[in-house]
């Protein structure tokens, strides 16, 4: 059965250019089993017609607080009670401000005041408007009140600017809608996850790194969020977007990742060390670009801190999951790291095999504890991550039950 099957969703559409995406959003929500009713502001009708939304939703579109026929049955109150979830997409700076101010001068803002249903806001505006102090203060207030803020995304905007402010893509909004209703078995947990590679500078233009794409760590962050966890993602340089809803801490070097990991460990119930951290860094980083004056050059390296081992030594030791990317004797090296670093679990993969691991969309893992060995077969990293998060939680619950 689909997660959105028979869920009642009110989609509020406001006057932004991204309104043109909403028919597709309605179609996709319905494809997943949801019953969708649309509420439009006057501004929204400048970009998309009520007739279009009525055709794709299969329901009457509400667009006026003063519709005498609808209000004979107290239409706005009926909608407020009917909804399992209200999504406002696109949500302009104007509607965000009016909701924050408690205004009720149109149907959508009145609905937000009259409902006890959860409300998700998908911001869509110019990047300068998004960064304006007033908008950020309003968003902060809505978060404190329990509103869900989905986005915005970054990229090129209709006005030609580039930056944060784009409404999330339809696929992302549908995924977030499904995630909202998913089983929240990690509801009371805070996961701190490291992901991606680190870069160790040689000079201002060169660095030492590895082939990690960050896809596995980001997939774990998404799966943990979907299961209800609070997620802090400490990420090295990657070319993928962080899952909406997580706290993203961007770092470059292993030293920076080490500092952030130790700063957040006291808040964590679970720490997942998925990042491919450089074992060594350059002892003396050149201030200027090194010229090719010699046939040979020697670079002196010094060992980096072992992040996951230092987390395991912290006064507040969370449940710790390590990763082992190996090319030979996988089980031997993985179990050695598990014991030597005092981990609770370690997820190992053979990166020598084609089509899995670094820079691939697929992966296969073997999860080891002191007594268990569990295989997660080759699949898309999103699927692998979902299975891994569930298995980690089972071991986390078992350990805490024993205490």
Domains in the chain: boundaries = 8-181, 190-402
Helices assigned H by DSSP within 18-106: 22-31, 50-57, 68-71, 75-82, 93-100
Alpha-carbon span 198 to 228, nearest angstrom:
28
pLDDT of residue 8: 95
Alpha-carbon span 370 to 227, nearest angstrom:
26
Q: Which fold has domain 8-181?
A: Rossmann fold (3.40.50)
- One DSSP character per residue, 281-335 reads EESS--SSPPP--SS-----EEEPP-HHHHHHTSSS--EEEEEEEESS-HHHHHH
Residues 234-244 have a mean pLDDT of 91
Q: Pick the more confident residue, 105 or 98.
A: 98
Structural contact between residues 381 and 219, judged by C-beta atoms closer than 8 angstroms: yes
Identified catalytic residue from 112, 159, 246, 274:
159
Residue 112 annotated in active site? no
Alpha-carbon span 12 to 14, nearest angstrom:
7
Alpha-carbon span 333 to 331, nearest angstrom:
6
From the list 168, 187, 135, the residue with the least C-alpha distance to 243 is 168
CATH topology identical between 8-181 and 190-402: yes
Is the predicted pLDDT of residue 72 greater than 60, yes or no?
Answer: no
Per CATH, domain 190-402 is 3.40.50.300: no
Token reading at 168 = 């999330």
Averaged pLDDT score across all residues of the chain: 90
Is the predicted pLDDT of residue 139 greater than 90, yes or no?
Answer: yes
Please give the C-alpha separations between residue 37 and each of 31, 118, 184, 357, in angstroms, as whole numbers. 14, 15, 26, 43
pLDDT of residue 284: 92
Residues 248-269 have a mean pLDDT of 96
Please give the C-alpha separations between residue 108 and each of 56, 76, 149, in angstroms, as whole numbers. 20, 9, 17
Residues 127-134 have a mean pLDDT of 93
Is the predicted pLDDT of residue 185 greater than 80, yes or no?
Answer: yes
Please give the C-alpha separations between residue 116 and each of 3, 112, 248, in angstroms, as whole numbers. 21, 8, 30
Is the predicted pLDDT of residue 383 greater than 70, yes or no?
Answer: yes
Query: What is the pLDDT confidence band of residue 51, given thresholds at 50, 70 and 90?
Result: very high
Residues 45-74 have a mean pLDDT of 79
Alpha-carbon span 214 to 222, nearest angstrom:
12
Mean pLDDT is lowest, of 258-262, 359-363, 367-371, for: 359-363
Structural contact between residues 62 and 35, judged by C-beta atoms closer than 8 angstroms: no
């Amino acid at each position: 059965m689909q997660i959105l099957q028979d869920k009642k969703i009110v989609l509020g559409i406001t006057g932004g250019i991204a309104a043109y995406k909403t028919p597709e959003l309605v179609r996709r929500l319905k494809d997943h089993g949801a019953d969708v009713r649309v509420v439009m502001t006057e501004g929204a009708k400048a970009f998309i017609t009520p007739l279009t939304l009525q055709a794709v939703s299969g329901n009457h579109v509400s667009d006026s607080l003063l519709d005498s026929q609808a209000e004979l049955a107290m239409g706005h109150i009926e909608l407020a009670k009917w909804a399992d979830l209200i999504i406002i997409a696109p949500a302009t700076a104007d509607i965000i401000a009016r909701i924050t101010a408690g205004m009720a001068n149109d149907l959508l803002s009145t609905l937000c005041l009259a409902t006890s249903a959860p409300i998700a806001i998908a911001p869509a505006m110019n990047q300068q408007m998004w960064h304006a102090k007033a908008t950020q203060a309003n968003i902060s207030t809505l978060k404190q009140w329990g509103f869900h803020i989905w986005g915005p995304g970054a990229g090129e905007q209709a006005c030609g600017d580039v930056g944060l402010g784009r409404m999330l893509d339809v696929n992302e909004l549908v995924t977030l809608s499904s995630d909202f209703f998913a089983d929240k078995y990690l509801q009371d947990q805070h996961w701190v996850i490291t992901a991606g590679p680190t870069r160790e500078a040689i000079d201002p233009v060169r660095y030492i790194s590895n082939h990690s794409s960050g896809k596995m760590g980001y997939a774990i962050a998404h799966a943990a969020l979907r299961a209800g966890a609070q997620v802090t993602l400490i990420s090295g340089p990657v070319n993928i977007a962080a899952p909406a809803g997580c706290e993203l801490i961007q770092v470059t070097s292993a030293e920076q990742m080490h500092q952030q990991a130790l700063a957040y460990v006291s808040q964590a119930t679970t720490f997942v060390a998925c990042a491919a951290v450089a074992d060594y860094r350059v002892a003396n980083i050149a201030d200027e670009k090194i010229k090719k004056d010699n046939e040979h050059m020697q670079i002196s390296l010094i060992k980096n801190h072992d992040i996951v081992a230092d987390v395991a030594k912290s006064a507040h030791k969370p449940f710790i999951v390590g990763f082992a990317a190996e090319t030979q004797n996988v089980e031997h090296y993985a179990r050695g790291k598990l014991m030597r670093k005092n981990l609770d679990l370690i997820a190992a993969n053979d990166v020598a095999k084609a089509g899995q691991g670094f820079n691939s969309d697929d992966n296969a893992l073997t999860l080891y504890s002191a007594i268990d060995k569990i295989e997660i077969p080759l699949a898309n990293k999103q699927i692998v991550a979902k299975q891994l998060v569930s298995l980690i939680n089972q071991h986390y619950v078992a350990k805490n039950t024993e205490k």
